[in-house]
Each structure stands twice: as C-alpha cells, then as structure tokens.
C-alpha cells in the first residue's frame, strides 16, 4: 500500500529502518536472556527466548510487507506445526534469512551456522543464546594430526541440537555455502544456469546429526523479482517487486542416509542425490512463471497467523 502513495526510495528507507531496529531490539533482548539462562537455566527463560525469537520473525514479516509488493509461497506436501524438518535452499542474498524466518508455515526456523559467525555482534550472539547449532568440522589434515578429533564434530553438533527434541523445529541449511553471484558461478564452472554447485557434505552432516528426529527434508527454492542484481540494495531502495518461495516436502524414506565421511559408496550416492535436487531446482528457476506456478499467500496472512 505504501508503494502506491510514496516514492520507492522512501518506502525502502522505512522498511530498512524497521528491519534494522527489529533486529537490534530483539537481538539485544535475546542476548540478555541468553546470559541469564547461563546463570539460571529455568524453563521460563527458555519460553521467553522463544517468544522473543517469534517476535523477531514477526518484525521481519512486517518489514517485508512494507518494502516488497508481494511474497508468494507454494508448498508441495504437508508441513505440520508439530514436525521437525531440515530445510535446504539456494542462497541469493542476506535477505534469504529474513524471508525464511518470516514464513510462519515453518515451525521455529533455526539456522545451521558457521562456527565463526558466533562472534558476530547481535546476530551471532543471538543465535548462540537461542541454541542454534554452529558447525565446526575438523578437516582430514587435522584428523590425521589428531585422530581424537574424528567424530567430535558430529557429537558436538548433536549435543547442541538436543533442545530441538522438545520443540518442533525447522533447521535451515544453505547448501551452496555462499551467496550466488555470476562471478562465483563462473569461477566454480557450475553446471547449473542459476545456481552454484551444492556442497553435499554439509547437508549429509546435518542429516547424520538430526535424521532420528526429522520428519522430512524441505527442498526450497528462492526467487526474487528485482531490477537490481543486488537484492538487498533493491530492498533498501524500495524496488523489490516480489519474493517467490517454493517448498517441496521430501519424506525421510526418500532421502539416502549414511556415513558421508567414511563410506565412499554412500558419499557418491548422496552427491548424486543432491545434484538431482539441484538440477530440478535449476530447471524450476529457468521455467519460472509466478502467475502459473505459485499460489499466492500474502504477508498479511502470514503475519496474522504468527
């Protein structure tokens, strides 16, 4: 509605300011509650942390409602409010985190994060307070020097995910490991037209840690309708026209499981599985027609259901 009466740059300024203020407010509160939880690990503090996180998600949805003309969502399959899921997605922008957290369809979206991110102010500290898993994997060279490191990454991450057993959760993993750019695509010599090469190892690691409590894998495709190659800049300038999210629900019975690091046969099988998903995703983006292939769910509906 604001886009109808205000210039784009002013709409972008309002949306960006709201988004930053929302993150600062709830991020600081979550950090403070996390420190308190270290001293007094009471159930009430956990409930307050989850409440604060949901309000951060609500604020993200409002900022997108202000700065973007529409968000369209298509879900192939059933997602339960009482389920546990691993969501794998392509990665286009920092805005991806905001978009996925704003979708109330997903139960308690949490993120697999690189260990280095825990030291980022507000974002990393807030994720730590919420108990999000940080991945710190030992390399083959490190294991060769110190065999005791073998298996410690899995055990450590499993320990950080124990709390998820008590609350339905969606763990989000950006399989490409970095945001898409044409330069990265060319450097990788990616076989895909619209995607980087997927890093199957990270997803296999997440499955090894979480498979026992997962109900499905959510194969998710993000597409932005924007005149600017820089998506965040487009949002900040009020020029982001649409965000399209496609979620394909894959039952765990269809997902190959095994020991990715030690089983070579499984490693090849899982790499082929992920590449098939990525080829389908690439074709999906290439033939994308929003009016024909997506069922529109307005952000207003998403916000009201939070």
Segment 127-151, tens digit of pLDDT: 878 878 776 665 566 666 766 656 5
Rounded CA separation 67/3 (Å) = 8
Q: Which domain range does residue 194 map to?
A: 70-304
Rounded CA separation 34/41 (Å) = 9
- Reference 202, options 265, 134, 130, 286; nearest CA is 134
What are φ and ψ of residue 26, in 5° steps? -75, -30
DSSP state of 177: S
For residue 137, tell me if it sits in a domain. yes
Across the range 188-200, mean pLDDT stands at: 92
If pLDDT is split at 50, 70 and 90, which confidence band does 250 have? very high
Q: Per the structure block, which two tokens stand in for 22? A: 């929302």
For residue 198, tell me if it sits in a domain. yes
12 within 8 A of 67, measured Cβ to Cβ: yes
For residue 242, tell me if it sits in a domain. yes
Rounded CA separation 190/208 (Å) = 26
Residue 115 burial (C-beta neighbours within 10 Å; 0-12, 13-18, 19+): middle
Of the candidate ranges 48-52, 254-258, 268-272, 286-290, the one whose mean pLDDT is the lowest? 286-290
For residue 19, tell me if it sits in a domain. no
For residue 276, tell me if it sits in a domain. yes
If pLDDT is split at 50, 70 and 90, which confidence band does 97 have? very high
For residue 20, tell me if it sits in a domain. no
- CATH number for the domain spanning 74: value is 3.40.1130
Rounded CA separation 285/172 (Å) = 20
| Average pLDDT score, the chain | 83
Predicted local distance difference test score (pLDDT) of residue 302: 44
Q: How far is CA 224 from the centre of its chain?
A: 16
Of the candidate ranges 45-49, 119-123, 182-186, 195-199, the one whose mean pLDDT is the lowest? 119-123
Segment 227-237, tens digit of pLDDT: 878 899 999 99
Q: Per the structure block, which two tokens stand in for 41? A: 């690990």
pTM for this model (two decimals): 0.84
Predicted local distance difference test score (pLDDT) of residue 198: 93
For residue 23, tell me if it sits in a domain. no
Region of 108 on the Ramachandran plot (φ > 0 left; ψ -120 to 50 alpha; else beta): left
For residue 30, tell me if it sits in a domain. no
Number of structural domains (the chain) is 1
DSSP state of 194: S
Residue 86 burial (C-beta neighbours within 10 Å; 0-12, 13-18, 19+): buried
């Amino acid at each position: 509605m604001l886009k109808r009466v205000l210039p784009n740059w002013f709409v972008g300024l309002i949306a960006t300011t709201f988004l930053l203020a929302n993150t600062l407010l709830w991020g600081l509160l979550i950090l403070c509650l996390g420190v308190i939880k270290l001293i007094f690990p009471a159930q009430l503090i956990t409930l307050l942390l989850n409440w604060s996180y949901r309000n951060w998600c609500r604020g993200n949805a409002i900022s997108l409602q202000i700065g973007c003309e529409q968000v369209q969502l298509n879900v192939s399959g059933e997602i339960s409010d009482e389920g546990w899921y691993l969501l794998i997605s392509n990665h286009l922008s920092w805005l991806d985190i905001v978009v996925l957290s704003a979708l109330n369809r997903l139960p308690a979206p949490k993120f697999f994060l690189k260990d280095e991110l825990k030291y980022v102010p507000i974002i990393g500290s807030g994720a730590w307070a919420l108990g999000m898993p940080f991945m710190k994997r030992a390399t083959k060279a490190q294991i060769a020097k110190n065999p005791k490191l073998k298996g410690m990454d899995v055990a450590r991450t499993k320990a950080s995910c124990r709390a998820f057993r008590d609350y339905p959760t969606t763990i989000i993993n950006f399989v490409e490991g970095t945001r898409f750019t044409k330069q990265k695509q060319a450097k990788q010599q990616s076989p895909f037209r619209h995607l980087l090469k997927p890093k199957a190892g990270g997803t296999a690691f997440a499955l090894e840690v979480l498979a026992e409590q997962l109900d499905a894998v959510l194969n998710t495709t993000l597409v932005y309708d924007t005149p600017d190659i820089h998506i965040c800049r487009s949002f900040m300038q009020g020029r982001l026209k649409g965000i399209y999210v496609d979620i394909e629900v894959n039952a765990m019975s269809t997902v190959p499981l095994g020991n990715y690091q030690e089983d070579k046969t499984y490693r090849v099988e899982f790499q082929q599985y992920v590449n098939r998903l990525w080829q389908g995703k690439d074709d999906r983006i290439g033939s994308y027609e929003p009016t024909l292939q997506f069922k529109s769910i307005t952000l207003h509906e998403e916000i009201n259901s939070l």
